[in-house]
A = this chain, B = another copy of it.
């Protein structure tokens, strides 16, 4: 689907003559690689949300902070929008280009500047891959905890922009909980340090404000991350259930017992079968749901926790429980889960990945709601989720070539997210808002709250040049979106009335 920045609802953008801008930038920053030919721009048309595509006016590939600084000052002076991009693995279209804007690719900032095993921190450039940090820290017995499924490819700068999570964030937190300090450049080229090497910094918490701001407040040029000591031991249990709700109840039991698993993941039958067919992880294809529960720590704790979790799973009605017998099986159990998205990609021409977060107690109610929506819209939905922290990833299966299916997939996706909001949850857990969920932000926040967001945005970027049209909708967009709802004559959350 071609992505159109909508100037009518997202605000006007200045138009520039591409050849002139290219010539000016080349004169200003001669050592800055700049792509502007149509065929060179194609690889940058989309990020991991491949359903939306747009061709950027040009792509800049800096590897020096001075180049970025000069580019931002130039863009600011000429009112040219700038969209930052890391590895381009994002799933919400946060790095979708603008045809009137510069795509600022930070991937070449890929140096690990320092690993300090005593302070348990690493200082890295934003283009460093998530997994590369753990690899660099490994000789010291340390690692970087957040592990998005894309960790082999995604960059730490993108992780900061999206406040990325992963299967271990229940225990170890999101990106915001695992970074200490950021060096950033603002749109007017100022260099600012957010946070500090110490535990807490005085003044307003700009580090947290910036993390997850999706490239709208500035450009990250350096990240100081916390490193953790590698757990001595990690064991994973695979439990089968004949009923999704029983699996959901088991999650509550485990958390309630005070065990904090390193990971606690749930998959439903459709997701199990897709993953098993692809990875041969040894999943029970007849189960209605499985739970993967990992406990980590020192040997003796892990033994005790495994026994405790096993008893709880049994009491919750698990029909089968298996402890990965060795590290190879443990890796295989996780590989099935981590590859669930591409696995679903094999059984459906297209799929659309949701990222709602809900209070854990609402799990059965929301699963039922998704099932009903699935029937209403005639589209299959596979459920894969970080059950422990209530972060759901419903995968909507559709065929973009079948007339109307893309629109139906978008519509059911929106309904699912609105359902998450209605039960007290939120429209994103770890993938961000980006382009994808911008309309649902109107359901999540009222206009007073959005006005604050705009004022904060204006404090950093008064001309609105950094990633416009993403993350935070204009009030105009919400008015349009709201009136669409009225036009359809439906209450936003009819599915809740049944409960």
Contacts and interface: CB of A to CB of B under 8 A. Distances in A.
Interface string A340-364: 0000000000000000011111000
Contacts of A212: 200, 202, 204-205
Interface stretch (A8-16, A319-327, A369-377, A441-449): A441-449
Nearest to A116: B361
B208 A426 contact: no
A141 B456 contact: no
A284 interface: no
A190 B231 CA distance: 47
> How many A residues touch the partner, as a band?
35 or more
A92 to B, nearest CB: 10
A430 interface: yes
A247 to B, nearest CB: 16
A297 interface: yes
Interface string A2-39: 00000000000000000000000000000000000000
A198 B425 CA distance: 5
Given A118-B361, A256-B120, A459 B452 contact: yes
A468 interface: no
Contacts of A460: 452, 455
A489 interface: no
Contacts of A279: none
Interface in A93-107: none
Contacts of A252: 118
A113 B258 CA distance: 23
Contacts of A359: 119, 197-198
A471 interface: yes
A268 interface: no
A200 B174 contact: yes
B203 A361 contact: no
A65 B434 CA distance: 35
Interface in A110-165: 116-120, 141, 163, 165
Interface in A407-429: 420, 424-429
A391 B301 CA distance: 29
Interface in A428-469: 428-430, 432-433, 437, 441, 444-445, 448-449, 452-453, 455-460
Contacts of A433: 202-203
A89 to B, nearest CB: 19
A229 interface: yes
Interface string A466-491: 00000110000000000000000000
Interface string A193-214: 1001111111111101101110
24 contacts: A118-B360, A119-B359, A165-B200, A173-B177, A174-B200, A193-B449, A198-B429, A199-B389, A200-B429, A201-B426, A202-B212, A202-B437, A203-B445, A204-B212, A205-B211, A206-B449, A206-B452, A208-B209, A229-B256, A299-B304, A300-B301, A300-B303, A455-B458, A459-B459
Given A198-B390, A205-B205, 18 more contacts: A174-B199, A192-B448, A192-B452, A196-B426, A197-B359, A197-B425, A199-B390, A202-B437, A203-B444, A205-B209, A205-B212, A206-B453, A208-B209, A209-B209, A297-B301, A300-B301, A301-B301, A456-B459
The 7 A-B pairs of least Cβ separation, nearest first, read A229-B258, A455-B459, A208-B208, A198-B357, A301-B301, A197-B424, A198-B425
Interface of A: 116-120, 141, 163, 165, 169, 173-174, 176-177, 190, 192-193, 196-206, 208-209, 211-213, 217, 228-232, 252, 255-258, 297-301, 303-305, 357-361, 389-391, 420, 424-430, 432-433, 437, 441, 444-445, 448-449, 452-453, 455-460, 471-472
